[in-house]
Structure 1
Amino acid sequence: MNGFDSLSLWIVITGMAVGSFALRFAFIGFMGGRPMPAWLMRHLRYTAVAILPALVTPLVVWPSPTGGEISLPHLAVAALTFAVGYLTRNVLWALLSGVSGFLVLFLLG
């Protein structure tokens, strides 16, 4: 196991579990019964909008199937998805256009 013994592995797993619980408890446990301040709610609205591009961008810029080289099909489908999302202002349509774009490219060979 790459130089890790079982005890070290379980210490890391337990530490990550405690950290994850503490992070969630900070919001749910401490703020559960109280309304959140308006400034915090304003900032939390943008969380989903920031997470999705952060997950997708590395897959577009450094795609695994090409060994990290820039791929024109990946960039084309990303541009299509961005355009549909921008024009329709609908995340579902943007996601469906991205999936459809890759499906068409796959079927064309």
Structure 2
Amino acid sequence: MDMSSTQIWTIIALLGIGTFLIRFSFLGIIGDRELPEWVLRHLRYTPVSVLPALIAPLVLWPEATGGQPDLARILAAAVTLLLGVTTKNVLAAIFGGAGTLYLGLYLLG
């Protein structure tokens, strides 16, 4: 597909306006109002649900292995989860998982 420079910039501008309007609907219109308790309770779980959704494909179908599951990545994810749950320390979980990944890649190939 061959697109002109004008078409590409028009698409970029429209997408920018669209994302601005989406964010403005939350921040600009209701940003200074007090949210109901049930909304705040649900918003607390947003990072907990988004993070696994971002990480799961990287563990189960990694690009580095051509989409094949890799024992080193699965072990690193398990150690990260275990450290996060037991210590409740984000940095311990991150560094423990990274160390496990690098050690696993070194030992397992």
TM tier, smaller = 0.7 to 0.9
Residue 23 of structure 1 deviates from its aligned partner by 1.4
Structure 2 unaligned regions, length at least 5: none
Residue 106 of structure 1 deviates from its aligned partner by 4.6
Aligned partners of 1:33 and 1:77: how far apart in 2? 42
AA in 1 matched with 2:98: V
Aligned partners of 1:92 and 1:27: how far apart in 2? 31
Does residue 1:37 correspond to 2:36, yes or no? yes
Q: How do residues 49-88 of structure 1 correspond to structure 2 at under 5 angstroms?
A: 49-88=48-87
**Secondary structure of 1:69's aligned partner:** coil
Q: How do residues 2-21 of structure 1 correspond to structure 2 at under 5 angstroms?
A: 2-21=1-20
**Secondary structure of 2:28's aligned partner:** helix
Q: How many residues align?
A: 108
Higher relative contact order (CA closer than 8 Å, sequence separation 6+): 2
Residue 18 of structure 1 deviates from its aligned partner by 0.9
Aligned partners of 1:57 and 1:82: how far apart in 2? 12
AA in 2 matched with 1:70: P
Please, what is the CA RMSD of the aligned residues? 1.6
Aligned partners of 2:99 and 2:9: how far apart in 1? 42
Aligned partner of 2:90 in structure 1 is 91
Deviations 1:70-90 (A, max 9, x none): 111111111111111121223
Structure 1 unaligned regions, length at least 5: none
